[in-house]
Chain A
Amino acid sequence: MKEIARKLSSLSFAGWSVVALIVWCTLGIVLAGTEGFSNQFHGMNDIIIRDWLTSPQRGAFFWKVWFVGLCTAVVVLGINLIFCSWNKFASLIRANRAGASKYVMLAVHILFGLVALGHFGSFMLGYKYENIRLVEGQSFRFDRVFSIRLEDVHFVDDPRVLQMAYRDQTPANFHYRLNYGDMVLSKGGEEVYRGRVYVLKPIRFKTIQVTLKRFTLPRSPETESPGVVVVISRNPVLDVFFIAYPLMIAGIGIYLAMTWCLHYRKKPYQKKIGGKGKGI
């Protein structure tokens, strides 16, 4: 049992898990850029992955296998992370004078685990309704009790700009900070939130987010206001992810600062060159 635990926590096991992930990811990159596979791959963005995975009508079987393979490789890496962190924690407790940098590195690994869990949680928890088209006065029901209504659209630019490609929409002809839609979110028919949604500035009510992807060209630009395309999403672990990620970066930064000169401070005979059992 101890031998299995030692192997599962080893650096070599971590290395091979990462190699497996790299190979799997390369397969995904190659196929995602191949005609025939590409459309189905991008279709994974349309709904939350949990629904995409379980719905027989949605998604190609191949991509589902690929996704499950990807998750399996991450789970294997996660097992290594748990065993390795536990061993490291136990050895730090045992050691009388463990360096502070080792604690920081342990914290970085735990935070990485949280980030990975947050990422996985965003695939499996909550919901997502992509490309909901609304015009003034229209509403959309979701998650049984909620509905979103577009009350008003404020568009200061020439609506013909919406026909242009993204590259041609410049700050001179499209003012993304001045154009907005007034949205009303209701729960069970009762208004719970009212707000202005801009491009790149979504509105949030608890864990529900309404994102304005773009405006749509009205049928008669002279008389009608543009419509909107919104994404309604709920990700209960979003905050955990967005807090753990910068903490992980800060942890690596602190670790780097603590160990920047460590190697030079050691005496020559203490230096381990290319020794086994050490990562960088």
Chain B
Amino acid sequence: MMMRYFKLFFIPIVPPAPLLANAEESFNLGKVVATVEKEAVRIMASVTMKNIFIILYVGACATYTLAFSLHFTKQRTLERFAAAIGLALNGAVLVAIVLISGHLPVFNLFESLVSAAFILACLGLFFTKVERSLPDVAMWVWIEILLLLVISLLFPKVLASSCYDFNYPYRICFFAFRVGALSIILFSSAFIIQSRVEGKNPLSGANRFYQGRNFLLLGTILFLVSEYSGMVWCQNGWGDMWRWSDGHLQSVFIFLYLMLAFHIQERRKGPRGIRSLVAGMSGFVMLAFTVIRGLD
């Protein structure tokens, strides 16, 4: 019954090699049919889940875009409603990824971007205030979420393969904290960009900058936790906490950039706002390296 239903999808059934080998060893037709049927149900469920996952992903992109448009027209109630739906759809995409792949959605570029968009949307919904004039912090957050989704649209929507060590705790921490750091540093960028925009109103601008600084420090902590996990993973897997590779140098670059953002001073001469420029770009620098790393 299940097999007939499965054939309606015109998907060729190829039993896995070990299964065939077992069948040759001791030919037990009932057992083989049962196993093939079980495997078919699993593949079918996976195919259906994959379709659902794509539909949810497109839905999340569309509702986020709608929320962004409503933000411009200052229809705050509708915007919050659309944002909540977008967030729910985004969350459902992540749940679908977990169900299909069996791992946290943080291991490749597509998964990282969708997860970062989700965290950023949560932060945007719960940690930004409704403001009268535009641009405001929420607008920059929306732009960042859409940027993440546009980048994810440009790349194949594939899930990371579950390698044998996918459940190794330090590996999970390395990737998960990195996604967390990316979203929080992007969130801080929204505050710092807004502080630059509000430069004419120094008091409000400085408050925004300080809020941005708080989130930048929080993001840095998450980034360092990710690096620490990565170093323990490296020490246990390769016998050294450091490897000379592009990936490690990119991590050093991000670390140094964050250090610069915290140590840079305003100049007496020349252009003003160099500190907020460097700090405001942190999120985008980290995003750029996430994309570069994802291309490997």
Q: Chain A residues in contact with chain B, CB under 8 A? A: 11-12, 14-15, 18-19, 21-22, 25-26, 28-29, 32-33, 41-42, 44-45, 119, 122, 128, 130, 158, 166-171, 173-176, 199-202, 209-211, 213, 230-233, 235, 238, 241-242, 245-246, 248-249, 252-253, 255-256, 260, 263-264, 268, 271, 273-280
Q: Chain B residues in contact with chain A, CB under 8 A? A: 18, 161-168, 202-203, 205-207, 210, 213-214, 216-218, 220-221, 224-225, 228, 231-233, 235-246, 249-250, 252-253, 256-257, 259-266, 268, 272-273, 275, 279
**What 9 pairs between A and B have smallest CB-CB spacing?**
A231-B239, A211-B239, A44-B244, A263-B210, A174-B164, A233-B239, A273-B206, A18-B260, A256-B217
* Inter-subunit contact B167/A171 (CB<8 Å): yes
Q: Can you list 20 A-B contacts (CB < 8 A)?
A: A11-B265, A18-B256, A18-B259, A25-B252, A32-B245, A122-B241, A122-B242, A167-B163, A169-B163, A170-B162, A200-B165, A200-B233, A202-B236, A210-B239, A242-B231, A242-B241, A273-B202, A273-B203, A274-B202, A274-B275
Tell me whether A200 and B225 are in contact in the complex, defined as CB-CB below 8 angstroms, given that A29-B250, A33-B246, A175-B164 are known contacts. no
Most buried by B among A28, A200, A255: A200
* Inter-subunit contact A249/B236 (CB<8 Å): no
Partner of A170, one of B163, B216, B259, B261: B163
* Inter-subunit contact B237/A242 (CB<8 Å): no
* Inter-subunit contact A256/B214 (CB<8 Å): yes
Most buried by B among A33, A252, A280: A280
* Inter-subunit contact B225/A249 (CB<8 Å): yes
Q: Which of chain A's residues have a CB closer than 8 A to the CB of B207?
A: 263-264
Q: Which of chain B's residues have a CB closer than 8 A to the CB of A248?
A: 224
Sample of 7 further A-B pairs with CB below 8 A, known A233-B239, A238-B241: A33-B246, A42-B245, A167-B163, A169-B164, A233-B240, A271-B206, A280-B262
Q: Which of chain B's residues have a CB closer than 8 A to the CB of A238?
A: 235, 241
Q: Which of chain B's residues have a CB closer than 8 A to the CB of A263?
A: 206-207, 210
Give the docked Cα–Cα distance between A276 and B218 (Å): 24
Give the docked Cα–Cα distance between A244 and B242 (Å): 16
* Inter-subunit contact B265/A12 (CB<8 Å): yes
Most buried by A among B228, B241, B266, B279: B241
* Inter-subunit contact A279/B242 (CB<8 Å): no
* Inter-subunit contact A18/B263 (CB<8 Å): yes
* Inter-subunit contact B164/A232 (CB<8 Å): no
* Inter-subunit contact B243/A45 (CB<8 Å): yes
Shortest Cβ gap from B150 to chain A (Å): 25
Q: Which of chain A's residues have a CB closer than 8 A to the CB of B253?
A: 22, 25-26, 29
Give the docked Cα–Cα distance between A258 and B237 (Å): 37
* Inter-subunit contact A249/B262 (CB<8 Å): no
Partner of B264, one of A122, A202, A209, A279: A279
Q: Which of chain A's residues have a CB closer than 8 A to the CB of B165?
A: 176, 199-200
* Inter-subunit contact B240/A128 (CB<8 Å): yes
* Inter-subunit contact B210/A274 (CB<8 Å): no
User: B18's closest neighbor in chain A, by CB?
Assistant: A158
Shortest Cβ gap from B262 to chain A (Å): 5
Partner of B228, one of A45, A210, A249, A277: A249
Give the docked Cα–Cα distance between A50 and B206 (Å): 48
Shortest Cβ gap from A201 to chain B (Å): 7
Give the docked Cα–Cα distance between A168 and B166 (Å): 12
Give the docked Cα–Cα distance between A276 and B260 (Å): 15
Partner of A211, one of B214, B238, B242: B238
Q: Which of chain A's residues have a CB closer than 8 A to the CB of B203?
A: 268, 271, 273
Q: Which of chain B's residues have a CB closer than 8 A to the CB of A280?
A: 213, 216-217, 261-264, 275, 279
* Inter-subunit contact B239/A202 (CB<8 Å): yes
* Inter-subunit contact B168/A200 (CB<8 Å): yes
Give the docked Cα–Cα distance between A42 and B264 (Å): 33
Give the docked Cα–Cα distance between A260 and B241 (Å): 33
Tell me whether A41 and B265 are in contact in the complex, defined as CB-CB below 8 angstroms, given that A174-B164, A245-B228, A256-B217 are known contacts. no
Q: Which of chain B's residues have a CB closer than 8 A to the CB of A174?
A: 164
Q: Which of chain A's residues have a CB closer than 8 A to the CB of B239?
A: 128, 130, 202, 209-211, 213, 230-233
User: B233's closest neighbor in chain A, by CB?
Assistant: A200
Q: Which of chain A's residues have a CB closer than 8 A to the CB of B214?
A: 256, 260
